[in-house]
Amino acid sequence: MALMPRLRALLRRQFSASTVGTRRPTSTDRRRGDSVQEDALRAMLHDDPNDVRAFDALAELVRRRAAESANPEDPLTAAADEETPADQRERAADLAVWALAEEFAGHPRGWYPLLELGRLSLSSDPEGAVRRLATAAERDPEGRALAGGMEILRGAGMPVEALGLGVGHWRAREHIPAVGEHLVIAALEAGRVLEARQHLASLQLHPDHGEVARVRPALEQAIAAHEAAQQPAP
């Protein structure tokens, strides 16, 4: 069974908003240290669902535990015939992280978990992934989620989708300059040099002139290189 049907099965499960940040029931053989660490990390994420270090640490914990205890009898984690044991462990770990991200994405301010949901679903459900990344961008007034979503799309070889996400949500005066950087680079990756120059000009609107001055030379060089490559040979 492919990953997305299992993820959709998880999506159909009903969760109460009151369970956000609450440790889920676990087997009694869990090491005490893991339980204490998990409770502490969940408490941190309950206060701030976008605490990147806490989320990544908790994701690593549940990923490791899921990989160690994958159950082939579970219909959500049952292995396909062609899967190796390593594939089974990786899939079980991804499902565990999906469930974790889904849980904290229920927080009205939670944008970082939505980025993880988008990343996990990108290969199997690109349209749904882009919607999750867009929702994340809408929840973050500083633009960190937007920059993260564009980075995920660019890393997956989807610069046009990254441009669509960025253009639809970018507020040049309010969002961190990294959003403008991603827009310029995504435009170049999509072969839109003129659009890249327009985004670079808009980046000048940001009030942090020092940061803009720091990133601008590299972006100018990248644009110039693409313009030179488009010139017809003599």
Going from N- to C-terminal start, the domains of the chain cover 1-7+33-139, 159-229
Beta carbons of 201 and 219 less than 8 angstroms apart: no
For residue 233, give Cα distances in angstroms to 226, 228, 229.
Answer: 14, 10, 9
48: amino acid identity, one letter: D
Under DSSP, the state recorded for 96 is H
Separation of alpha carbons 171 and 150, rounded Å:
14
Supply the pLDDT for residue 16. Answer: 43
What is this structure's pTM? 0.80
84: amino acid identity, one letter: T
Supply the pLDDT for residue 91. Answer: 86
Task: Retrieve residue 78's tokens.
Answer: 């049952």
Separation of alpha carbons 70 and 93, rounded Å:
8
Supply the pLDDT for residue 67. Answer: 81
Supply the pLDDT for residue 11. Answer: 46
Supply the pLDDT for residue 24. Answer: 52
> Dihedral of CA 27/28/34/35: which sign?
positive
Beta carbons of 166 and 146 less than 8 angstroms apart: yes
Supply the pLDDT for residue 18. Answer: 44
Separation of alpha carbons 137 and 155, rounded Å:
17
The per-residue pLDDT string of the chain (234 residues; one tens digit each, 9 = 90 and over) reads 455 555 555 445 444 444 455 555 554 445 555 788 899 999 999 999 999 999 999 999 998 888 887 555 444 444 455 667 777 888 888 899 999 999 999 999 999 999 999 999 999 999 999 999 999 999 999 999 999 999 999 999 999 999 999 999 999 999 999 999 999 999 999 999 999 999 999 999 999 999 999 999 999 999 999 999 888 766
